[in-house]
Amino acid sequence: MNLPPERDSSGRFVKPEQDMPQPSDHDMHPMSRLLFGWVSSPRTPMVLLVLTLVIALGLVLIDFAVNRHEYLDFANANGFYAIWGFVAFALAVLSGWPLGKLLRRDEDYYGEADTTLQDVEQDS
């Protein structure tokens, strides 16, 4: 069976539906439940966004209260690092679109795609 690869909502390739094991949480590692049980909650993404936003903006507010003394004058501007961090990250990620188009070739481009390593667990 050689169906064309499907993509899910985030654009990632997944195997055809019938070949996909249905994710279920009943066999979850007990430690995972304890440590990361909150991850699969539907509210988590929104909570994380709000939390990050609050911390990030809080850091800028603190910046107004602190009188920094950097060697480079422009770095003393309030929120300079915040803007630089945001822009740099966004630039790096967004450049992935054109760069992917430009540089990505078929997986077997060099004729050496997918072979299993010798020291990988065999029954996996």
Work out how close the CB of 73 gets to another protein at its nearest, in angstroms, rounded to a whole number. 10
Please name which of 41, 39, 6 lies closest in space to residue 20, comparing C-alpha atoms.
Answer: 6
Query: b or e along 69-92 (b: 16 or more beta carbons within 10 Å of the residue's beta carbon)?
Result: eeeeeeeeeeeeeeeeeeeeeeee
Closer to another protein by CB, 1 or 118: give it: 118
Give the Cα separation of 47 and 58 in Å (integer): 16
CA angle 101, 102, 103 (to 5 degrees): 100
DSSP annotation of 19 reads G
Work out how close the CB of 42 gets to another protein at its nearest, in angstroms, rounded to a whole number. 14
Work out how close the CB of 3 gets to another protein at its nearest, in angstroms, rounded to a whole number. 15
Work out how close the CB of 108 gets to another protein at its nearest, in angstroms, rounded to a whole number. 8
